[in-house]
Amino acid sequence: MIHVASSLAADEARIATLPQLWRRRCAQWSDRPALRHKECGIWQGPRWGDYFTEARAIGLAMGDTGLAPGDVVSILSDNRPQWLIADVAAQAMGYVSHGIYPCSTAPQVGHALVEAGSRVVIVENAEQLMKVLAVRDQCPDLRHIVVMETRGLRRFTDAQVSSYDDWRARGAEAAAKRPALFDSRIDAGNGNHIAFLASTAGSTGAARLVAVRQHEFMQEVRATRQWLRLHPGDRSLSVVSLAQHGERLLAAKAMLVHESLLHFPENPATVFNDMLEVEPHFLFAPPRFFEKLQGLTELFMQEAIPVARAAYAASLSAARPSWWQRKTRGRIRAALGLQNVRLVLTSGASSPGDMAEWFGTIGVPVLDCYGLAEVGFCTDAQLKLAPDGEILVHSANPLPGYWKRGEISHTPTDPDGWLRTGDLGRLDEQGRVRLLGRVQARVVCGEGTPISPEVAEDAFRQSAYIADAVVVNRGGRLAALLSLDEERIRNYAQQHRLPFTDYTSLLALPEIDSLVTAQVQIANGRLPERHRVRNVRMIPRSLRSGDEELTPALRLNRWVVARRYANLLDAA
């Protein structure tokens, strides 16, 4: 057996592309498990040798349809083994891989396919297929649609639509006829080839696509070694969509460099239960994910017997915990499936201070990461603030360009090589840059001084009953639209025996209105006078992942919310 650590230096000296490194790992670890996905309650997935065989079949099936080097293959799916298989298959054949967030609406899918110039889109199931079919007339480059899971499509026929299983069989036949073709295409790859397209956040407008070259991505994988230390056999759970640059990077790093075993949840609704079974050593998710874990724990403790509530409170409040308090903290970690976690990474928004402190107290360190599609994760040395508070990023290497239907435009930087991110930041007590929001989101109130609405929004998020907030300027005064934490609000109503039938009736209760009013007063009490919010309204519906009002990081999309619910503020 070739030890990973001892062989890595030699790999880095000779290997130029991700598919070349991946092929080597498939040969080295052929009989070991590569990926795990929970289906119908059972963890299953390919070994490394099977991973290679299936990716070769899918890649050759792509080639059999007449794709040319540089053509784009898009993937619209929740995280699962076939996502990574299609991704590496496309790159191995010299095509450009492109992930689309599965929570995207049909118009957002159409925009992504048009911008990418996609020739092929591989979708997860009938739901995602319907999104593509709704917009395919607007996608002039699209030729083939491949469906991974055909349940519910037995009688469906369409000349452009094929099943993933059919493509796999088609590719297996091609491999039998030309067994050396796939390897030759991998060998022909070089560092200047476009590996994949990474989408920008799209929080202030339509998302743009960043063209990431093979050598750029390989450099990111190597650089991650400086701060992400994993061990062979470590387990990770893929929570963030693989369409995000950071998740793709961490998955590749964990698997190909450290031989960590990557697990995929059965579906988004089972993530917390799946985490209990996986007991990961490493976890990457948006802050909202960890806020939810904390909230569920606190709700559970509210209903626990008095002695358990007292033990929980005492274990968290002790500066120098006793042995039984340390044991209690360990039980909290185990109840969340976090007993093995050495590091938690968050990205997409700054973590609320109380949430990070809570996890730190129970022994789970939380590290906020700042990342962009253009540069991946950034170090402190790469960041600085412009005089107006905008976050600037510097890269030692030339930045990738923006892609639009095969044309690449350069990423604009100032003469010294600093990229204006459009994000607003401030320095914390340690002198580190803390993300506040978008520069365009600043509002002018009172004396005409621009302020960031994130200051007020952070104050609202500290409430146990408020999931998120969007603050806007309405006639010179700050106004807020609040998204409530549905589980905590329901629990409050049940504890106080308040009658309700659904979320809408819950919001109509005067007791809930009084509760929210009290939370607003507490939040305003934390704020300077000019940041205080005078007009507050609740978003009148329950929001779920996939709703247009939410970003992939599960935060409110400022521009969608402000536009869609403007009438609530106008009516105030």
- Domain span at residue 564? 442-572
pLDDT at 198: 93
CB atoms within 10 A of CB 438: 21
Question: What six digits make up the tokens of 113?
Answer: 């396919």
Beta bridge partners of residue 391, listed in sequence order: 385
3-state secondary structure of 557: coil
pLDDT at 3: 42
Give the model confidence (pLDDT) of 25-78 as tens digits. 999 999 999 999 998 889 999 999 999 999 999 999 999 999 999 999 999 999
d(Cα 484, Cα 467) in Å, to the nearest integer? 5
Together in a domain, 486 and 502: yes
pLDDT < 70 stretches in the chain: 1-13, 202-206, 226, 349-350, 352-353, 396, 437-452, 475, 553, 571-572
Q: Is 306 exposed, middle or buried (0-12, 13-18, 19+ CB in 10 A)?
A: exposed
| Domain contains 206 | no
pLDDT at 419: 86
Together in a domain, 300 and 262: yes
Together in a domain, 250 and 146: no
CB atoms within 10 A of CB 212: 26
Task: Compute, in degrees rounded to 10, the torsion defined by CA atoms 14, 16, 18, 21.
Answer: -10
pLDDT at 170: 96
| Domain contains 278 | yes
Beta bridge partners of residue 346, listed in sequence order: 368
Together in a domain, 425 and 448: no
Q: Look at residues 443, 440, 429, 490 and name the one whose alpha carbon lies nearest to residue 464.
A: 490
Together in a domain, 433 and 306: yes
pLDDT at 119: 97
Together in a domain, 421 and 472: no
| Domain contains 536 | yes
Together in a domain, 364 and 237: yes
DSSP 344-403: EEE-SSPPPHHHHHHHHHTT--EEE--EETTTEE--GGGEEE-TTSEEEEE-SSPPPPEE
Together in a domain, 19 and 127: yes
Together in a domain, 258 and 353: yes
DSSP structural state of residue 268: G
The per-residue pLDDT of the chain, averaged, comes to: 87
The CATH number given to whatever domain includes residue 25 is 3.40.50.12780
| Domain contains 333 | yes
User: To the nearest 5 percent, what fractions of the chain are helix, strand and coil?
Assistant: 45, 20, 35
- The runs of H, that is alpha helices, within 136-163 are none
**Residue type present at position 336:** L
What percentage of the chain has pLDDT greater than the value 70? Answer: 92
Picking from 438, 472, 500, the residue at the C-terminal end of a domain is 438
- The runs of H, that is alpha helices, within 15-136 are 18-28, 48-64, 81-92, 106-116, 126-135
Question: What six digits make up the tokens of 551?
Answer: 């970003």
| Domain contains 93 | yes
| Domain contains 551 | yes
The CATH number given to whatever domain includes residue 476 is 3.30.300.30
d(Cα 172, Cα 89) in Å, to the nearest integer? 13
Together in a domain, 340 and 486: no
| Domain contains 36 | no
Picking from 174, 189, 204, the residue at the C-terminal end of a domain is 189
| Helices and strands per DSSP (H, E), number in the chain | 22, 27
3-state secondary structure of 80: coil
Domain total for the chain?
3
Picking from 438, 471, 502, the residue at the C-terminal end of a domain is 438
**Residue type present at position 190:** N
pLDDT at 204: 54
Together in a domain, 183 and 260: no
Together in a domain, 433 and 454: no
d(Cα 60, Cα 68) in Å, to the nearest integer? 12
C-alpha neighbours within 13 Å on the C-beta side of residue 297:
22
pLDDT at 44: 93
d(Cα 444, Cα 422) in Å, to the nearest integer? 17
Contact 408, 385 (CB under 8 A): no
Q: Look at residues 341, 342, 301, 351 and name the one whose alpha carbon lies nearest to residue 458.
A: 351
| Domain contains 433 | yes
Give the model confidence (pLDDT) of 526-546 as tens digits. 888 777 888 888 998 888 877
